[in-house]
Amino acid sequence: MGLIESTGLPGDPAVVSHASPNWVTTRLDFLMNWARKNSLWPMPFGTACCAIEFMATAASRYDLARFGMERQSFSPRQADVLICAGRLPFKLAPVIRRIWDQMPQPKWAISMGACASSGGIFDNYAMVQGIDTIIPVDVYVPGCPPRPEGLMYGILLLQKKIQGESVTDGALRADRPVRPDGLFLPAERVDELSEPFGNSVHQTRSA
Amino acid sequence: MTPAVAAGPSASVAALRAAFGPAIRRHDVVAGDTIVLVDAARVHDILAWLRDTPGQRYDYLVDVTAVEYRDRERLLEVVWFLRALERAEDLRLKVELAKDGPLAVPTCTDLWRGADWLEREVWDMFGIRFSGHPDLRRLLMWETYAEGHPLRKDFPLRGHFSRAEQTRQALGGAAEKHYSLEELSIADAMHYLPDDMRERLAHGHHGEVE
């Protein structure tokens, strides 16, 4: 997505050397990715109605365990994929950031629903306009809330993405900490991502 | 059993007028509920009287909130919702405050402990102070929130700051900043706090961040 910028710090994706892929690494990739994608442990970060759909996805009718997710990890230290199910107020921004930082690599994030992905209908003073201004996101699931089928499709997309990863790609596993200015993305990009859209520009307001 | 909607105002209005005279400015009946507008200076006496007088006994404080109307000419209102549990009767008390005057009313935390968080929320959202409140900090927004009081009509829907600045302040603030000294001492998280904040909390100076 072109969001990664070089900071020159150790661990920066831009300064990690890139070994070229060969027979050994591609076989290794295949095995590792196969194992990783089929044993994703989700860290459920449920804040709103999306969490209800997430629970339905995990329950017997839709049975998330079919995809290797039988263990919900309620500790970020034993989790692989953070699923933000619901809106994220600014007050929770440092919390989800800390949970993300506590998760060990390799880790992925799914932004479930309109609010987590864009702020949704909550274009107001209290709400983060998309969690991708706080943490990197791999898969966005649309819907308000998404049906369990939608979330499962997102998870399958994530598995497809994981299957395409390579150990020779140093940028994949590089941590992207909060920048020295206290933001995760450059300020102008946060403003751009948070711009009003759709109906939210026509809201009635008294001020 | 559904109680019949009372035709007239609650009997408490006449009793209030007898006891407080001109401090009871006017009353109104809306959808069967009685609303009494009173003097801000006497509101604590009136609340105490309503709670303790036999025959009144409004022993349950349902809610404390405030209203700012879209019509800019209208005054700010602070509203107390009272209920007499035994008689199953409700009464609503209102006080009007001029927007350019001091936005303060007396606390009623000494009458109902449950008023604590209700009054903190009104302070947080409307900027109305409750004099005598033991711990008047913001309740919903965090302690260092600097954009103002969000439910006021002059507060822009998206806040005063840019989204980048809001995100920076939110991410820059440690999660520990949201909690009180008591909550932090339970979690043993005091040492994460910035020095100035630890100092203020240790000396009991809460809130009051403008």
Residue at A1 is within a domain: no
In the predicted structure, residue A41 carries a pLDDT above the cut 70: yes
In the predicted structure, residue B105 carries a pLDDT above the cut 90: yes
Q: What is the pLDDT of residue B209?
A: 43
Q: What is the mean pLDDT of residues B146-158?
A: 88
Looking at the structure, tell me whether residues B23 and B93 fall in a common domain: yes
CB B170 within 8 A of CB A182: no
Instruction: Please give the structure tokens belonging to residue B21.
Output: 């005279």
ipTM for the predicted complex comes to 0.77
Q: What is the pLDDT of residue B106?
A: 94
Q: Half-sphere exposure of B128 toward its Cβ, with a 13 Å CA cutoff?
A: 28
Q: Which residues contact B91 (CB under 8 A, 6 or more apart)?
A: B10, B12, B34, B36, B50, B58, B82, B83, B84
Residue at A42 is within a domain: yes
Q: What is the mean pLDDT of residues A78-94?
A: 91
Q: What is the mean pLDDT of residues B174-188?
A: 65
Tally of domains in chain B? 2
Instruction: Please give the structure tokens belonging to residue A108.
Output: 């992925």
Q: What is the pLDDT of residue B139?
A: 87
Looking at the structure, tell me whether residues B63 and B123 fall in a common domain: yes
Q: What is the pLDDT of residue A111?
A: 95
Q: Residue B65: pLDDT band by 50, 70, 90 thresholds?
A: very high
Q: Distance between CA atoms of B138 and B120, rounded to whole angstroms?
A: 6
| Among B155, B157, B162, the residue to mutate for chain A (most A Cβ within 10 A) | B157
Residue at A200 is within a domain: no
Residue at B52 is within a domain: yes
Q: What is the pLDDT of residue B104?
A: 92
CB-based contact (8 Å) between A11 and chain B?
no
Q: Which tens digits make up the pLDDT trace of A90-126?
A: 988 988 998 998 899 889 999 999 999 988 888 889 9
Q: Do A94 and B173 touch (CB under 8 A)?
A: yes
Strands (DSSP E) found in B99-171: 104-106, 129-131
Looking at the structure, tell me whether residues B117 and B147 fall in a common domain: no
Q: Residue A207: pLDDT band by 50, 70, 90 thresholds?
A: very low
Q: What is the pLDDT of residue A206?
A: 42
Q: What is the mean pLDDT of residues B157-185?
A: 77
In the predicted structure, residue B174 carries a pLDDT above the cut 60: yes
In the predicted structure, residue B156 carries a pLDDT above the cut 50: yes
Q: Distance between CA atoms of A140 and A153, rounded to whole angstroms?
A: 11
Domain boundary at B84, B118, B139, which? B139
Tally of domains in chain A? 1
Q: What is the pLDDT of residue A108?
A: 93
For chain A, how are helix, strand and coil distributed in percent, rounded to 5? 40, 10, 50
CB A96 within 8 A of CB A47: no
Q: What is the pLDDT of residue A191?
A: 85
Instruction: Please give the structure tokens belonging to residue B191.
Output: 């040492």
Give the closest-approach CA distance of A87 to chain B in angstroms. 15
Q: What is the pLDDT of residue A16?
A: 47
B3-32 residues touching A, CB cutoff 8 A:
none
Domain boundary at B96, B113, B139, which? B139
Out of A95, A133, A183, the one facing B175 most closely (by C-beta) is A95
Q: Do A129 and B163 touch (CB under 8 A)?
A: yes
In the predicted structure, residue A186 carries a pLDDT above the cut 70: yes
The helix or strand, by DSSP H or E, that contains position A51, with its residue range, turns out to be: helix A49-58
Looking at the structure, tell me whether residues B155 and B124 fall in a common domain: no
Q: What is the mean pLDDT of residues A158-185?
A: 83
Q: Distance between CA atoms of A138 and A157, rounded to whole angstroms?
A: 9
Q: Searching chain A, which residue's CA lies closest to the CA of residue B68? A: A206
**What sign results for the dihedral spanned by CA atoms A132, A135, A137, A141?**
negative
Looking at the structure, tell me whether residues B131 and B159 fall in a common domain: no
Domain boundary at B114, B139, B164, which? B139
> B34: domain range?
7-139
Residue at B20 is within a domain: yes
Place of tokens 């690494």: A25
Looking at the structure, tell me whether residues B27 and B124 fall in a common domain: yes
| Among B76, B99, B158, the residue to mutate for chain A (most A Cβ within 10 A) | B158
Q: Distance between CA atoms of B187 and A81, rounded to whole angstroms?
A: 27
Instruction: Look up residue A186 and give its DSSP letter.
Output: -
Give the closest-approach CA distance of A126 to chain B in angstroms. 8
Contact residues, chain A, for B154 at CB < 8 Å: 207
Q: Half-sphere exposure of B76 toward its Cβ, with a 13 Å CA cutoff?
A: 24
CB atoms within 10 A of CB A195: 11
A147-186 residues touching B, CB cutoff 8 A:
178, 181-184
What is chain B's mean pLDDT, rounded?
Answer: 84
Looking at the structure, tell me whether residues B59 and B115 fall in a common domain: yes
In the predicted structure, residue A7 carries a pLDDT above the cut 80: no
Q: What is the pLDDT of residue B210?
A: 38
Q: What is the pLDDT of residue A15?
A: 46
Q: DSSP states of A18-42 as a string?
A: -PPP-HHHHHHHHHHHHHHHTTPPE
Task: Print burial letters for A103-114: b (CB count within 10 Å at least 16), e (below 16).
Answer: beeebbbbbbbb
Looking at the structure, tell me whether residues B32 and B59 fall in a common domain: yes
Contact residues, chain B, for A129 at CB < 8 Å: 163
Q: What is the pLDDT of residue A170?
A: 73
Q: Which tens digits make up the pLDDT trace of A116-148?
A: 998 888 888 999 999 999 999 999 999 999 999
Residue B148 burial by Cβ neighbours in a 10 Å radius (0-12, 13-18, 19+): middle
**What sign results for the dihedral spanned by CA atoms A15, A19, A20, A21?**
negative
The helix or strand, by DSSP H or E, that contains position B199, with its residue range, turns out to be: helix B195-202
CB B93 within 8 A of CB B48: no
Out of A95, A190, A203, the one facing B167 most closely (by C-beta) is A190
Cis geometry, peptide bond prior to residue A106 (ω within 30 degrees of 0): yes
Find residue B66's DSSP bridge partners: B78
Q: Distance between CA atoms of A43 and A156, rounded to whole angstroms?
A: 17
* Range from A1-5, A45-49, B27-31, B173-177 carrying the lowest mean pLDDT: A1-5
